[in-house]
Chain A
Amino acid sequence: MSKTRYGFLIDLRRCIGCRTCHVACKAENDVPLGVYRTWVKEVEKGTYPQARRQFIPILCNQCEEPACTTVCPVVATYRLPNGIVYIDPHRCIGCRYCMAACPYAVRFIHPERNVAEKCDWCWPRVREGFGPPACVSACPTGAMVFGDLDDPRSEISQILAREPAAVLKPETGNDPKVYYIALDDAAARLVEAGGEE
């Protein structure tokens, strides 16, 4: 069996900010109200009439060196051999340490199960052969590409071989695996103080 190492690519030039990925994810993964496995961050640059909106879909980066698996006291979150960071919902004690460690704020406590949850690139769906993650299937402009980084013939490898791509917060050393084409780093980092719940 050949080794697979999954990666995710978002071409922001194609993203129209429709949030279909956001909705598809909610439906696929039964994500409750108030929490999100993926979302589309929206930043306006400039002022009318010289203004342009940036859309930045955010999801779990399935880091190669994840901060969350380092700190989980019960190894409830771990990397699968294909690189996806998975959570064992039966082992998690809901201590929220992974949420404190994740630089991408993609983790949350499931309001009903009281354990940590996050995007897993629809691993159960992918594993059972139902196609790519729900957000990738739903994206109307084909801005999202999911595939094997170790296979040079895969679409993602071919695009990454020719296009300049960037990741969010590379300085964390987590080695994230969601690649963005045409990423405006300053827009992606823009936050409002005191916005945490």
Chain B
Amino acid sequence: MDNMTLLYTVPHQEAFGISIAIYFYLTGLSAGSFIISTLAYGFGFEKYKSLGKVGVVLATLLLIAAPMFLLLHSGRPLRAWHLFVYLNATSPISWGSFLLTIYPINCLIYGFFMFRGNARLTKIFGLIGIPLALMVHGYTGFILSFAKAHALWRTSLMPILFLTSAMVSGVAMMILVTIIKDRFFSEKRQVNTEVVYGLGKMLLWLLVFDLFLSLSDLGVHYFSEAESMETARLFLTGALAPTFVGIETLLGKVLPLVLISNSRTRNLAMYGFASVLVMVGIFFMRCNVVLGGEFIPLL
């Protein structure tokens, strides 16, 4: 109502801050690069064999780094062992404490057999790792959708939205990794364009799906109940429009989509540039979702 003025209320502490956004970003990259790594060793796409080893190393390192941000965020990091002793079946963080332990261990085993050249066991642990990679990132979507106080978060699209953006950022990272690895560290100093263009095609369709999900999410919010409508306006025309519409959507998704799908910009420099844009865009997406969700105070 227009005739009311808020004279006094207290400031509320922020529940999830930038460290949670970084954590989501890193697990997303990890899950994405793990799945790319299994393309050759789990599913037999020989074209992507060169990405198997670098993929699993990145997936493991990123997933060792990610929980550090959770400890940083937590008020009592030395009590982290409580997570394994006192369980709550309805809490996604409780699921996550096990996923975040099993997944990197599986990554290590999978990587170990890959480097030892044991194709059969590599395939087995690669295939075990796929549902784990999906869960380790999917559960982070459940973390937000179970925090039902905030209109932006309480949507069942959150897990699939997070998985899609994880794949998007992961594939973009693998394109960059391929370019850098081939250009500077391979014997011939020549980039394998077949791999880059193959990943580019994958990125293209993932970006289309990601755009579809993110716009349908906000579209439904826009016509939903009061809090959702306010949140949608915040993102589409309000204070967060520059980061959401500008950086996340236009620079991070639409422009890379144009660069990758256009045959005139089909060269390594443009693909590399598009990948950087995508990775920055997804980082902003994590920040928009995590920080934007709490932007409007509750009471």
Contact = CB atoms under 8 A, between A and B. Distances in A.
B75 A101 contact: no
Interface stretch (B44-52, B165-173, B209-217, B289-297): B289-297
B149 A73 contact: no
Nearest to B233: A193
Contacts of B85: 74
Contact of B13 (A39, A41, A109): A109
Contact of B4 (A67, A92, A187): A187
B83 A41 contact: no
Interface stretch (A42-50, A134-142, A143-151, A158-166): A42-50
A197 interface: yes
A90 B13 CA distance: 21
Contacts of A42: 6-9
A60 B86 CA distance: 25
Contact of B1 (A93, A171, A186, A191): A186
B102 interface: no
Contacts of B147: 67, 71, 97, 100-101
Nearest to A98: B15
B281 to A, nearest CB: 23
Given A72-B91, A191-B297, A93 B79 contact: yes
Interface string A87-105: 0000111111101111111
Interface in B229-255: 230, 234, 238-239
A71 B299 contact: no
Contacts of A109: 13, 75
A191 B6 contact: yes
A190 B9 CA distance: 10
Interface stretch (B35-43, B92-100, B122-130, B256-264): B92-100
B76 A94 contact: yes
Interface of B is mostly: loop
Interface residues of A, number: 56
A196 B9 contact: no
Interface in B4-33: 4-16
B91 A73 contact: yes
B116 interface: no
A78 B296 CA distance: 27
Given A58-B299, A105-B297, A71 B93 contact: yes
Given A91-B82, A93-B82, A94-B79, 7 more contacts: A70-B88, A71-B90, A95-B74, A96-B16, A100-B153, A100-B294, A104-B149
11 contacts: A67-B148, A71-B88, A91-B86, A93-B75, A96-B13, A103-B149, A172-B149, A193-B239, A196-B12, A197-B11, A197-B13
Interface of B: 1, 3-16, 70, 73-77, 79-80, 82-83, 85-88, 90-94, 96-97, 143, 146-150, 153, 225, 230, 234, 238-239, 294-299
Interface of A: 34-36, 39-47, 53, 58, 67, 70-76, 91-97, 99-105, 108-109, 114-116, 168, 171-172, 186-197
The 10 closest A-B pairs by CB, nearest first: A94-B75, A114-B75, A73-B93, A100-B15, A100-B147, A99-B15, A42-B8, A105-B298, A103-B149, A74-B86
